[in-house]
Structure 1
């Protein structure tokens, strides 16, 4: 089970990524559209952990405007180990600073995240599929590249854990 602190995107960017999900589903790739009764929305995770207590996260982040209206620019597609396909973000100083600030407040409050989300390790991205079948990986990446670039603005932030039915928006 995995929980995350997600940044949600403006309507236009969300719609473009959902179109990509549909294109990939038509290709035979399970995207984030499918699991958890379609409750997933395109997002960028600032931290991820095995579990997150939404009350503790909200308290730790009181001094931070988590849903700051950051401008995001998805510029490339990539693959993490395990054939996890994602849209990659330009690592702007504002974005990297924001993620490090959120991480620091959580860490100072004793809230642990997965090491891949430590500042300096974190790769800003929007996951498209958790496991693309090897025979169609190249075609899936081509489809991702066809929708790029995507400019987006952060509109909301939330602690999310679909397996535990947790969704709590943060300011």
Structure 2
């Protein structure tokens, strides 16, 4: 799974002239499910983005997470993150999960986010999967972070203590 985090002072998604999601200070996150991804990759991406220390502390250092600042989170699906541009000038999107699988994984990520963090964040908003979206943002910093969580192939079994 791929995610592109942007620290924002505000962000909104507009579809057909209607604002479908908007936040103030927080993170705008573009996500893309790749072929072979499962909910496990979504959970790992969610853990990383919620705890990524990219907000300033009182000393002016990037030392606080989205959870620490109780910011907003705007999650937008974007299959083009999986673009392969190694050959020619037309990107290939074969690494992206098929639309129905991508939607299922996106919906699972959003549901997991709401279940785990609704009481700790100012807002959890989304774009609209598969729609032609206009994304408006004020990038704060700018701070933009790329996260890639390859498919989980083996989860170690905990040893008894």
Q: Do they superpose with TM above 0.5?
A: no
> Between Structure 1 and Structure 2, which shows a larger proportion of helix residues?
1
Could you state the TM-score of these two structures normalised by the residue count of structure 2?
Answer: 0.29
Q: Which has the larger radius of gyration?
A: 2
**TM-score (ref. length: structure 1):** 0.28
